[in-house]
Chain A
Amino acid sequence: MLNIENLHVSVGDKPILRGIDLVVGAGEVHAIMGPNGSGKSTLANVLAGREGYTVTAGRVTYLGRDLLSMTPEERAWAGIFLAFQYPLEIPGVSNVQLLRTALNGIRRQRGESELDTMDFLDSVKAKLAALGMDESFLYRAVNVGFSGGEKKRNEMLQMAVLEPRLAILDETDSGLDIDALKVVANGVNALKSPERAFILVTHYQRLLDYVVPDHVHVLAGGRIVRSGDATLARELEARGYGWLVPEAANEVRP
């Protein structure tokens, strides 16, 4: 589904990603872990199409298309979703208005019919209930005055409504208490399917107690320095990143 080859990315003159190779297949859950400043969020943002990053080498294909040439909205239409580390506030715009505009926009692009208000509300309310969220959420302005946990839940609601093919969660678990963490985990687990893939960007292992990844990658210094299965995450939890990062620093690439 997603194929990243030798991806190099700079911000200004500063190289952040220095040769990422990663293949994500349908139905898989990948965790990208690593210390602060290792380039995890850069990778998530570049995949979603945020401006301000310069790709200096490498290529990314998604469902056979050249991902890097697509605008952020084209990526959304093709099924990519980024759950933000810091979701933005949109004053005066209700959640329900945003969800409906977004969903119908995507459906239109895919040649599907737009949902009428009643069908849309029924479907959204079912998803709210599944996430244990109150209906009043829908009528509040997008993220305005939301607590950190509410903002992250809201990202999960958007993900549930938009039903992406590839969902990227950028440190969605950071700063959450255990209940909110479970909401995020439930959001991911409820959507897991053979057609859908997830990339979980996280600093900590604790989200992975609830969402078991198929693959774990450790990012350090802009490169993937170690890949493994779920046991790697537990090893990191026990030993920290120190034992890997020097290895990354000394690593010599051909």
Chain B
Amino acid sequence: MTDTMHGELEKRLSEAYPLGFVTEIEQETVPPGLNEDIIRLISAKKNEPAFLLEWRLAAFRHWLTLREPGWASVHHPPIDYQAIRYYAAPKTGARPKDLSEVDPALLATYEKLGIPLQERAALAGVAVDAVFDSVSVATTFKDKLASLGIIFCSFSEAVREHPELVQRYLGSVVPPTDNFFAALNAAVFTDGSFVYVPKGVRCPMELSTYFRINARSTGQFERTLIIADEGASVSYLEGCSAPMRDENQLHAAVVELVAERDARIKYSTVQNWYPGDAEGRGGIYNFVTKRGDCRGARSHISWTQVETGSAITWKYPSCILRGDDSVGEFYSVALTNHRQQADTGTKMIHIGRNTRSTIVSKGISAGHGSNAYRGLVKVLPGALGARNYTQCDSLLMSATCAAHTFPTIEVREPGATVEHEATTSRIGEDQLFYLRSRGLTAEDAVNLIVNGFCKEVFKELPMEFAVEAQKLLAVSLEGAIG
């Protein structure tokens, strides 16, 4: 590409990260380091029942036997797990009962992030759980949801108020022994969201969680558990951001989804953790395990993710298609610019009969970004009539970026149908000139091309968030085109 276009793209990609501010607030933290005493301390701070402390300790002991995985196509200096603080919370005393008791500095923070927590100001039709470092600071529309029997609260509150549900489902999709980061999360997880939608109830509003990392030298280890009981349906969205810092911060979350018979869960992510600067200093390490279990017949789980932030992204939102006729979907846009690295994809495990899965992955690489799609489609014996369709497209925006695809297909049922399509294209100087000669600025031309490339994924997002995702992509690509 020519120098002028390079210059234009570089300029657009290097735009500032507008969410990178720090909230000055008194924090309560634990000393850095990870050992059984720290885990006991976290558990005690949260007044947890004995079963949960034992669960954490067992996970920690297992974690000690594991080594950090090295197979992903990402590179970073070794992480010192003893240098991280595993708990940080705003010092506000007891958990506020309602918004009037929430520290105004926190409310202002979310306001600034575009997530007003006052229900009158809130986005119509969206309930929000706001997680600040290790704790949930507020959850909106709880009462309205409770009238339908829907539980939407912080994980800590669920542990106190609904221990039987937590005990029944926790770790049933992602067991503490699943992998290195899942074991770490199980040992030290602090907060996150909990959703239970009872039999036959369709949740009337979008549920969402906004995760904010604020404190220095801390990690965020949230855990989210969503259960849609028989015939229930729910749409959930998470967003996230963090201050700009020159240190790397670890975010190792676990998300478990359970869909019973005829239930439907739609889970959307707009991930905008601080990506680090143009030279790759700082940024979040986003090492996340997300999995959904289509437990019952005709259940349906759909993952949609727009990943623009983080220095490193390592996540594979997956579906276990256990129930007959169950459906799993994965729609992903992953953008890496500057020195960002992403290794992301999905696993679709077909167990039940006539199970169907769809994978649409769109990787955009710019600057020196590295983007890998890693996917597994596995059809077990007996999954008669299983079908998968995979489409995996990469768009390259510079000569220095990289895109890889690692699709694995394991079919052990002869009656299954698996289709895989993949394309790689470069954003063309000719395409840009064509659009500019129609009066679009170079910036608008790039946005139009990129949005066209991502269209199949954006149409899966709830309307308000599709618009946000487009804007986010535009900001993340500021100066990126080269």
**Cβ of B453: which chain A residues have Cβ within 8 Å of it?**
91-92
Bound complex: CA A51 to CA B430 (Å): 9
Chain A: which residue is nearest B441 at the CB level? A73
Interface residue tally for chain B (C-beta within 8 Å): 26
A15 interface residue (CB < 8 Å to B): no
> What total count of A-B pairs have CB within 8 Å?
79
Majority SS at the chain B contact face = helix
Tell me, rounded to whole Å, the shortest Cβ–Cβ distance linking B396 to chain A: 15
Known: A49-B436, A51-B4. 15 other contacts (CB 8 A): A50-B437, A52-B2, A73-B439, A75-B437, A88-B428, A88-B431, A91-B452, A92-B453, A92-B455, A93-B451, A101-B444, A102-B439, A102-B440, A106-B439, A141-B452
B433, B434, B448: the one within 8 Å of A101 (CB): B448
B429 interface residue (CB < 8 Å to A): yes
Residues in A33-72 with C-beta less than 8 Å from chain B: 48-52, 71-72
Tell me, rounded to whole Å, the shortest Cβ–Cβ distance linking B423 to chain A: 9
Bound complex: CA A75 to CA B436 (Å): 9
**Cβ of B254: which chain A residues have Cβ within 8 Å of it?**
none
Interface residue tally for chain A (C-beta within 8 Å): 32
Bound complex: CA A156 to CA B267 (Å): 44
B97 interface residue (CB < 8 Å to A): no
1/0 per position for B430-466, CB-CB distance to A under 8 A? 1101111111111010001101111110000000000
Tell me, rounded to whole Å, the shortest Cβ–Cβ distance linking A153 to chain B: 16
A105 interface residue (CB < 8 Å to B): yes
Taking a contact as CB atoms under 8 Å apart, the answer to whether A92 and B438 are in contact is no
**Cβ of B433: which chain A residues have Cβ within 8 Å of it?**
49-51, 72
A190 interface residue (CB < 8 Å to B): no
Taking a contact as CB atoms under 8 Å apart, the answer to whether A76 and B449 are in contact is no
Taking a contact as CB atoms under 8 Å apart, the answer to whether B2 and A76 are in contact is no
- Residue among B428, B430, B436, B442 with most chain A CB within 10 A: B436
Bound complex: CA A85 to CA B451 (Å): 26
Tell me, rounded to whole Å, the shortest Cβ–Cβ distance linking A62 to chain B: 14
**Cβ of A93: which chain B residues have Cβ within 8 Å of it?**
448-449, 451-452, 455
Known A-B contacts A51-B4, A51-B5, A141-B452; the reply to A90 vs B440 at CB < 8 A is: no
**Cβ of B442: which chain A residues have Cβ within 8 Å of it?**
73
Taking a contact as CB atoms under 8 Å apart, the answer to whether B448 and A98 are in contact is yes
Taking a contact as CB atoms under 8 Å apart, the answer to whether B2 and A51 are in contact is yes
**Cβ of A162: which chain B residues have Cβ within 8 Å of it?**
438-439
Bound complex: CA A141 to CA B130 (Å): 40
A25 interface residue (CB < 8 Å to B): no
**Cβ of B434: which chain A residues have Cβ within 8 Å of it?**
84, 87-88, 90
Tell me, rounded to whole Å, the shortest Cβ–Cβ distance linking B266 to chain A: 22
Residues in B1-45 with C-beta less than 8 Å from chain A: 2, 4-5
Bound complex: CA A140 to CA B442 (Å): 23
Bound complex: CA A88 to CA B433 (Å): 9
Taking a contact as CB atoms under 8 Å apart, the answer to whether B452 and A90 are in contact is yes
Tell me, rounded to whole Å, the shortest Cβ–Cβ distance linking A52 to chain B: 7
Taking a contact as CB atoms under 8 Å apart, the answer to whether B440 and A101 are in contact is yes
**Cβ of A50: which chain B residues have Cβ within 8 Å of it?**
433, 437
Chain B: which residue is nearest A78 at the CB level? B439
Known A-B contacts A51-B2, A88-B430, A88-B431; the reply to A71 vs B449 at CB < 8 A is: no
Bound complex: CA A102 to CA B429 (Å): 18
Known A-B contacts A73-B436, A105-B441; the reply to A90 vs B431 at CB < 8 A is: yes
A123 interface residue (CB < 8 Å to B): no
- Residue among B5, B439, B444, B449 with most chain A CB within 10 A: B439
A202 interface residue (CB < 8 Å to B): no
**Cβ of A101: which chain B residues have Cβ within 8 Å of it?**
440, 444, 448
**17 A–B pairs (Cβ distance < 8 Å), ordered by A:** A49-B437, A51-B433, A71-B436, A73-B439, A73-B441, A76-B437, A77-B439, A90-B434, A90-B435, A98-B435, A98-B438, A102-B439, A102-B440, A103-B439, A105-B441, A141-B452, A162-B438
